[in-house]
Structure 1
Amino acid sequence: MQFFGEQSRDLGCGLGHLLHSRILLANRIKAYVPLRSERCVFVACPSSMYLSLLFRNVTSARAAVSHVCSRNFHRTAVMHNGEYERQPPKSPDDIVHVTFVTKEKQRIAVNGKIGDNLLYLARFQKIDLEGACEASLACSTCHVYVNEKFFNILPPALDGEEDMLDLAVFLKPNSRLGCQIILSKELDGLEVELPPATRNFYVDGHKPEAH
């Protein structure tokens, strides 16, 4: 039988011989024989030699277990497929300035940070950049035009992005998918323009919301 915590030190040595004798006695008289200690009660069952440990102060025991669990486990936020939790920049050096040019030619300057996904930054700032496939490279609805100065700084588009751009309407040489643009300090001052229209994959008019 194995104990834990302080009870193993309190009970392990002093009760060993007494517990053994009570088990033998219980087996002879075919009855339950209690063995009491300062903190707990042992009950010896002769039929199966089963020992049950009953805490006198159940509330304290539960509180102790809850305390141990709270130190080792914590609950994280539930996030569904495609959802994104934006964290604030850790320092001013992490800030990346981005300007979105809407379909109506309105310029909207926002602050992102290093590591932000351009699509999710746009959603967070309530900019109408769709992203129907939730950044899974299955559509072209986050299609944007990247300012030439920064277009050459971006990593080359992968095959999956190229395949989706082939489906985009109003395609230009500086077209990229917003979901594939990750902000870095080199992109500070980035300017992207939304195309006049996108190939909308939603059939019910639904648009994704920022999280």
Structure 2
Amino acid sequence: MTELKFEYKTSDWRLFIDSSKVSLKAVLLHNGNKYPSVPVAHATEIKESYENMKSLLEHIKYNQYSWKICGDLKVIAILLGLQLGYMKFSCFLCEWDSRDKKNHYVKKEWPKRDALIPGQRNVLHTPLINPEDVLLPPLHIKLGLMKNFVKAMNKNGDGFCYLKKKFPNISDAKIKEGIFVGPQIRNLLADEEFEQKLNPIENPHGHVFEMLFVIFLEATGPKTMKS
């Protein structure tokens, strides 16, 4: 940071880790976006795995700085030692049961996950980071809100039919599952005709969704994490 002539305070920066099947990289992002991103690690021909994540954190001396960490949900799962894939307990915050489908979208409160203990509730390894240092990715929250909202819509209603008309290049299967990208969601929220197409049950929920997306996620996102 001295070489870059940046003011440095650990709490002003967060560590973003991104991985794929062939590469792994880590970048420091300034919380106020006052400074450009600072690459701290990059490796090719390295798969996303617990061992490689552990090696990365050791090389950048993560324990010395203990930055807050952001990344996609798969990266966070690896860092916290969770089993990947379709497992029963996939959330590091609570004991949401992926197999208990009858209670999905019905049960609003799930037991808090008190600890991440290897060998229990789909935890394979000792966590590499403190769960309290994880910053949830806004993009995943946005996509999840949209997915749940669309899946709850009346599939024969005017609102759902309007979605298919507005996005003709998106397959019916994707629309039915509520699979949209950020720009499409923003486009839809700015469309007054879509709001008029919603039925009396969907409309209030649409307003809540828009409030969460625009006021909370969009307003605070640039200050904390870009999606």
- Kindly name which structure, 1 or 2, has the bigger radius of gyration based on alpha carbons: 1
Q: Same fold (TM over 0.5)?
A: no
Q: Which has the higher contact order (CA 8 A, sep 6+)?
A: 1
Which is richer in strand? 1
The two structures have a TM-score, normalised by structure 2, of: 0.21
